[in-house]
Structure 1
Amino acid sequence: MSSDPVRAARWAVAACFFVNGLIVGSWVPQVPLLAQRFGLGETALGLIILVLGIGAVTVMPLCGWLVGRTSSRLVVRVSALLSAFALPLIAFAPNLPLAVPAVALFGAFVGGMDVAMNSNAVVVERRLGSAIMSSSHGFWSLGGFVGAGVGGRIAEALGSQGHALVVLAVVLAILAVALPRLIEERRALPEASSLAPRAVRFPRKPGIYVIGILSLLCMAPEGAVLDWTALYLRQEMGASLATASLAFTFFSGTMALVRFLGDSVRNHLGAVRTVRVSGIVAAVGLLAAGLSTHPMGAIIAFALAGLGIANMVPIIFSAAGNQPDVPASIGMSVATTIGYSGILVAPSLIGFVAERSGFAPVYIFFALVMLVVVLLSHRLSAADRIAVQPSPDMPL
C-alpha cells in the first residue's frame, strides 16, 4: 500500500527520528556546561551519564510492552512530547540532587521515544512495502549533527538554559507537524493458540553470545564519542564550547551519510566485507583522535570514525536475528541486551579512566577494539540471509 497518508506517515516518522537525534545531539554541549555548573570531575560526570543510561534501559522494555498493548503511534506521541521537555529539566535544575533525576528522566523519555518510533517505522515499512529503516536512522544521525553543531554555538551564546529553550521551541514546532501524520498498526484478532504462554529459553549455541559481545564492542565507542568528545576537546585541547561540539557534529554527519547509503553499500560488498572495511576505517579514525594534539585534527578523526561505525551495529543485529536454529526474537534479545549493557556501563568506566590518564588512551583503546571486531567479522555472515537489515534500536 502506498497511499498519500502512508507516504506522509513515512516522513512523519522520519521527522521523529530527526527530533530524537536533535535532542540527543543537543545533550553534547550540555555535558561540559553541567560539569562546569556543579564542579564535576570525570568520574562524577561518568556516574551521571550512567544514570542517563539506567533511565533509558529501564524504560525501553516498558515502552515496548506499551506499544504491544496500545499502539506505536500513541507511545511515540506521548514520549516525544515528554522528550521535548527533557533538556530544559536538566538545564534549569538548580542543584545537583535535582539535576541527577532530571538526567535519568532525559534518558527515560528519549529512550522510550527511541523504541516507539522504531516500532512505528516498521509499521510504515509494511504499509509501504519497502524498507525505510536505514534512512530513518540516517535522519537520526542528521538530527544529532544539527543538535551538536548548531547547539554548541547557541549554548556558547545563550548559556545552558537559553540553549535548552531554543531546542524546546524547535522540537515542538517539528512535532506539531509530524505527530498528527503518524499511522497506527492494523491489529488482527489473535488466535486462541497464540494466547498460550510460552516458555522463554536462552539459546545454547555460543555463537549468538559472540555476536552479542560484538554488538557491545561496537556500541560502546559510539557512546564514548557522544558523551565525552566535547569534554575531551575542551579540557585537553583548549577548544571553545562551539568547537568542542563539532567532534560529535561531524561524527553524526558522516554517520548520517553512510546510513543513507548503507543498504546499497552492504548489498554490493556483503555483510562481512562491509564490517571489515568499516572496522578498519573506524579503528584508524579513533586512533587518530587519540593521538591528535589539535582540536581540528581530532574533529576530522572523529568524522572518519563515524564513517566506519555507522553500519556496523545494524549488520551485527541483522546477523543476530538470522542465526540458524535460533528464533529471531531470541537472537535479537541476546544481542540488544548485551549491547546496551555496554552503553550502560562504559560511560562511568571511561570517566574513571579519563580522570587518571586523560581521554586519549580511551580512544586509542577503542581503536584496538574495532580491530577485534574485524577479526571476528566472519561470525556475521548470517546477516546476508535477508535483504533488509533490522534497526539497531528495534524493540523486542
Structure 2
Amino acid sequence: MDTTNAMQAAIRGRWAVAAMFFINGFILGSWAPQIPEFAARLTITEFTLGLLILCFGLGAVVAMVAAGHLIARYGSQRVLRLFAGAAIFGLLIVALAPNVPLAAGALFLFGGSIGAMDVSMNSNAVVVERKLARAVMSSSHGFWSLGGFVGGGTGGILIQNYGHLSHAFMVTLIALVGIGLAFRYVVPDDQPMAQEHKTFSLPRDPMIYVIGFMALLCMNSEGAVLDWAALYLRQELGTDIATAGFAFAFFSGAMAIMRFAGDGIRNRYGAVATFRVSAVISAAGMLVAGLAPWPWVSIAAFAFCGLGIANMVPILFSAAGNHPGLTSGAGMSVVTTMGYSGILVAPSLIGFVGGKVGFSPVYVAVALLLMLVFLMSGLTRSADLNHDTVQDPVPI
C-alpha cells in the first residue's frame, strides 16, 4: 500500500512540475508582447531597452547560482515553491514601473524569480524521474513551450484591447491559480543533496566548452525571438501589437509540438542525425524570418525555426551529461550555465546591434550562427551513449 501511495504521489508530482513549467513559460511568454508597449511607455531607445533586458538576464544568472546552492541545502521542493511564489508577481511589478531606474530593478527581480524557478523546477523534474523510473524532462520542456505559446498568443490581443496593466493583472491571477493548484503536489527530494556538492572544479576537457558554446548559440536564438521578434514586427514590418505577439507564440507552439515528439524522433534516428536536421531547419527558418517582406511570412518562418530549435538544446544537455571522461554533473554544470547565458544575457547585445542596423540583418546573422552549430553536430554523439537505458516519457 505504501508503494502504491508513493507512486500516486509521484504521478501527481509529475503533473505538478509540468504545471510549474507551463506557468513559467506562460509568464515569460506574456512578457514578449509587453516589450513594445514597455519601450514606448518609458520612451526609450533600443540601446536602453537592451540594457534593461540585460538587467533581466543578470538577475536570472545571479538567482540561478543562488538557487543551486539553496537546492543543495534545502531540496528542490522547498526552493521551487519559494521562487514560483515570487515569479507570480514578476510581470506585474515590471508593468507598474513608472521610470527607467525602477524598471531596471523590477526586471532584475523578475529575471531572478523566473531564473531561480527554472533551475528548481528542472531539478524537481529529475526527482520525479527518479521516483517514476522514467523520463519526463522532454515533455516538461514541452509544457514550458506550450505556456509560452499561450502567453505570447493571447498577450498581444489582451494588451491591444485592455491595456498593458490589465494584461499583467490577468497574467498574475492565472499564475496564482496555476501555481496554487500545483503547490501542494510538488514532490520532496529523497535525501539532502548537499553531500554531492562538497567540491567544485572546472573541467579541463576543452570539448565540453565547445558544446557549451553550441548551447549558447542555440539558446541565444530563442532569446532573439523572445525579446526582439515583437519589436521587429512592430517597427520594421509595420504590424499591430496583437499580430506582433504571434511571433513568439507560434515559435513556442512549434517548439512545444516538436518537444513532445522529440524523444521518439531521437530514439529512432539518433542524436547526431536529429541535431543536424534540426540545425538546418532552425537556420532556414531564422533566415526567412529576417528577410521576410510581410509580417505573416516572418511569423510562419519563426514557427518553422521553432521546429528545429526545439530538440537542439535537450540533445546538447544529454551530450554534456554523457561526455566521456566527465561526471554528468561536471558536464551539465558547464553547458547549462553557458547555454542559459545565451537566452538571458546575449539578447541584450542583439538590442544594441538592432538599434544601429535594424533587426532584419540581426536575424540573418543568427541564422549563420546556427549553421556554425550545424558544422559541429558530431559533438552530440555522446548523447546516444545511454540510448538503451532511456525510457519513454510518461504519456500526456
**Residue type matched to 1:340 in 2?**
Y
For residue 149 of structure 1, what is the aligned residue in structure 2?
A: 153
Q: Unaligned regions of 5+ residues in structure 2, if any?
A: 391-396
Contact 1:47 1:347 in 2 (8 A): no
Aligned partners of 2:42 and 2:98 also within 8 Å? no
Instruction: Check whether the contact 2:218–2:342 (CA below 8 A) recurs between aligned residues.
Output: no
Counterpart amino acid of 1:226? L
User: Aligned letter for 2:15?
Assistant: W
Tell me the equivalent position of 2:394: none
Per-residue deviation, 1:143: 0.3
The alignment status of 1:354 with 2:358, answered yes or no, reads: no
Check the 8 A contact 1:215/1:338 in 2, yes or no: yes
Give the equivalent residue in structure 2 for 1:394.
Answer: none
Structure 1 length-normalised TM: 0.94
Comparing 94-103 and 238-247, the one that deviates more: 94-103
- In structure 2, the CA distance between the partners of 1:237 and 1:6, relative to structure 1 (3 Å rule), is same
Task: Look up the equivalent residue of 1:204 and give its one-letter code.
Answer: R
- Map of 1:334 onto structure 2: 334
Instruction: Give SS of 1:281's match.
Output: helix
TM-score after normalising by structure 2: 0.94
More divergent stretch after superposition (139-148 vs 211-220): 211-220
Contact 2:73 2:192 survives alignment (8 Å): no
C-alpha deviation, 1:43, in angstroms? 1.0
Partner of 1:392: none
Partner of 2:227: 227
Give the structure 2 partner of residue 135 of structure 1: 139
Contact residue 75 and residue 193 of structure 2 kept, 8 A: no
After superposing the two structures, state which structure 1 stretch, 357-366 or 64-73, moved more. 64-73
CA distance in 2: counterparts of 1:226 and 1:196, whole angstroms: 33
Q: Where in structure 1 are there 5+ consecutive unaligned residues?
A: 390-396
Match 1:91 to one of 92, 95, 111 = 95
User: Residues 181-200 of structure 1: matches in 2 within 5 Å?
Assistant: 181-187=185-191, 197-198=198-199, 200=200
Rounded to whole Å, the distance in 2 between the matches of 1:242 and 1:331 is 41
Residue 337 of structure 1: CA displacement? 2.6
Q: CA deviation at 1:20?
A: 0.3
Aligned with 1:162: secondary structure? helix
In 2, the alpha carbon distance for the partners of 1:195 and 1:141 equals 31
- 1:381 corresponds in structure 2 to 381
Report the counterpart of residue 5 of structure 1 in structure 2: 9
For residue 265 of structure 2, what is the aligned residue in structure 1?
A: 265
Distance 1:15 1:344, change over 3 A: closer
Mapped pair 1:178 → 2:178:
no
Q: 1:197 to 1:119 in 2, by over 3 A?
A: closer
Q: Which residue of 1 aligns with 2:239?
A: 239
The residue number in structure 2 matching 1:393 is none
Whole-Å separation in 1 of the counterparts to 2:255 and 2:197: 43
Match of 1:255 in 2: 255
| 1:177/1:189 CA distance change after superposition, 3 Å | closer
| Equivalent-residue separation in structure 1 for 2:203 and 2:13 (angstroms) | 37
Q: 2: distance between equivalents of 1:345 and 1:165?
A: 27
| 1:305-344 correspondence to structure 2 within 5 Å | 305-344=305-344
Does the CA-based 8 Å contact 1:57-1:108 persist in structure 2?
Answer: yes
Q: Secondary structure at the match of 2:239?
A: coil
CA positional deviation for 1:58: 0.3
Q: Which stretch shifts more, 332-341 or 122-131? A: 332-341
Counterpart code for 1:135? S
CA contact (8 A) 2:25 2:147 kept: yes
Deviation at 1:338, TM superposition (A): 2.3
Shift of residue 169 of structure 1?
Answer: 0.8
Question: How far 1:281 moved relative to its partner?
Answer: 0.4
Q: Distance in 2 between matches of 1:345 and 1:314?
A: 20
Q: Check whether the contact 2:88–2:175 (CA below 8 A) recurs between aligned residues.
A: yes
* Structure 1 vs Structure 2 CA RMSD: 1.8
Q: Which residue of 2 aligns with 1:116?
A: 120
2:59 and 2:193 mapped to 1: Cα distance?
34
Preserved contact between residue 50 and residue 350 of structure 2 (Cα < 8 Å): yes
Matched, 1:125 2:110: no
Separation of aligned partners in 1, 2:166 and 2:308? 34
Equivalent residue letter for 1:9: G
List structure 1 runs of 4+ shifted beyond 3 angstroms. 194-198
User: In the alignment, which residue of structure 2 is the partner of 1:363?
Assistant: 363
Letter matched to residue 187 of structure 1: Q
Per-residue deviation at 1:120?
1.1
1:173 Cα deviation after fit? 1.1
Per-residue CA distance 1:68-124 (angstroms, 9 max, x = gap): 111211111111111001111011112221111001100000111111111111111
Counterpart position of 1:20: 24
Q: Specify the SS of the correspondent of 1:181.
A: coil
**Matched pairs, number:** 386
Q: Secondary structure at the match of 1:324?
A: coil
1:212 aligns with 212
Q: Distance in 1 between matches of 2:285 and 2:212?
A: 24
Alpha-carbon deviation of 1:308? Answer: 0.4
Task: For 1:195 and 1:56, locate their aligned partners in 2 and report how far apart those are by CA, in whole Å.
Answer: 24
